[in-house]
Amino acid sequence: MLDQPVTRHRPRRFLGCVAWGVIMASLASSLAEPVAPQISTPAPVIAQPETLGEQWENLGRLYENEDNEFLQELWLLGRFHGQYHWSEGSAGEDEGYETRRFRLGAQAHLFQKMILHAQMVSGSDFEPFYNGFTELWAQWSFSPEVALTVGQQKHRFTHDRNVSSRYISQLERSLLTNLFVADYTPAVTLQGRIDTVNYYTGIFSNATGRDMGDAFTEFNSGYSFLAAAYYDLGKSLGTDTASLHFSFLHSEATDNATNLNHFDNGLSSALILTKNSTAIVTEVSAGLGSADGNAVALNIQPSYFLTDTLQIAGRYQIAGSDGDEGLNPQRRYERPAGLPAGDFYQAAYLGLNYYIADHRLKLMNGIEYATMGGEDVWTASTMVRFFFGPHTAGAFPMNQMCEGHFLHHD
């Protein structure tokens, strides 16, 4: 009985001594080795968009996740182009407001390889509101350099036509470009890149309409073949960017054709240069095999950014035909103001464009003088251009904004 208490307390005293020793050793260690000061690392500063154009860079994008194996991107897309014009000529006059373009649609990037694109279009001034589809296609990328597109799509003959209406700097495209009557039709196209050359080729139907079912099944309008390429010249000409463009068109149109039914063949070549805030596009195009005569044209488009939002845009056109009435004036503005058909056409355009959010929202003002067949027309215009959805890359202007010494976005 007397040994029991002694036996019971020895372990407690031993453990207490061990604990006390550990505490004292830890205290001594902490006193001997000063603790390194705690330095608070500031959170990384995320650059905020400086301009409205930067803030709206992804306007219309609903979803993005490159790691999702099924859906990588989903966009809403659309555009609104409204304008008012005053045309006064030696043989007549015309003026009025027009909702020039109104489109709505969506685009999805799927399976890391596929893009589905649908875009409906309204008629002029929403008459009618639904006027078919400009684009209704599926694209499959076999690699980053090769893609096949099937469906209703844009015919891209000439650089002038290839540039989307979202990016053009003038009121309308050039006269000879519009004479080809190129529009959106069912097609199969192949595009890609080989070294410094971007290529594009395809077979197109020569008719379309509001009924997509008929457009995709009734191929009685003939066909057209297109081949085009952009050659990237880099800085070899002492400029910031330089591209050389070539395109060839052959059309076998029937009496049912609504598109590409004016010329049998077409050729074009363009040189596109940018340096700092200056750009110039020079294009020569030719239309051959028309019942009205062959035609050739020179289209020169210089532009200069006065500031990062204010641009002067110009254009000079000269066109000739071996037929007495081989050239028709622009269907809008010039023809209603009395400009007749003829064999020699000249026009000069000067505009001032204000980029509120880069190309996504801009105000445009311009004046153009055109003459043909002994008559002339002055056309003044004011325009608003707005769009949302993915950008289209390519040679200037496309989604590029020429940058001069006045741009200081760090």
Give which of 350, 280, 276 is closest to 307, Cα–Cα.
276
Calpha distance 395→242 (Å, rounded): 8
Stretch 109-116: mean pLDDT: 97
Does 33 score more than 90 pLDDT? no
Give which of 408, 394, 404 is closest to 167, Cα–Cα.
394
Rounded to 5 degrees, φ, ψ at 395 are: -65, 155
How high is the pLDDT of residue 46?
A: 59
Stretch 184-208: mean pLDDT: 96
CATH class for the domain made up of 79-388 = mainly beta
- State pLDDT tens for residues 117-169: 999 999 999 999 999 999 999 999 999 899 999 999 999 999 999 999 999 99
Share of the chain above pLDDT 70, in %: 86
How high is the pLDDT of residue 402?
A: 87
CA angle 283, 181, 395 (to 5 degrees): 35
- State pLDDT tens for residues 233-290: 999 999 999 999 999 999 999 999 999 999 999 999 999 999 999 999 999 999 999 9
How high is the pLDDT of residue 256?
A: 93
Calpha distance 338→329 (Å, rounded): 9
Does 50 score more than 90 pLDDT? no
How high is the pLDDT of residue 45?
A: 54
Does 12 score more than 70 pLDDT? no
* Average pLDDT score, the chain: 89
Does 48 score more than 90 pLDDT? no
Stretch 40-44: mean pLDDT: 52
Does 24 score more than 80 pLDDT? no
Tell me how far CA of residue 268 lies from CA of 125, 186, 245, 330, in angstroms: 33, 23, 8, 20
* Band (201; pLDDT cuts 50, 70, 90): very high
* 109 or 18, which is more confident: 109
* Band (44; pLDDT cuts 50, 70, 90): low
Does 38 score more than 90 pLDDT? no
- State pLDDT tens for residues 202-225: 999 999 888 888 889 888 999 999
How high is the pLDDT of residue 209?
A: 87
Query: Could you tell me the pTM of the whole model?
Result: 0.85
How high is the pLDDT of residue 260?
A: 94
* Band (47; pLDDT cuts 50, 70, 90): low
- State pLDDT tens for residues 355-400: 999 999 999 999 999 999 999 999 999 999 999 999 998 999 998 8
How high is the pLDDT of residue 42?
A: 54
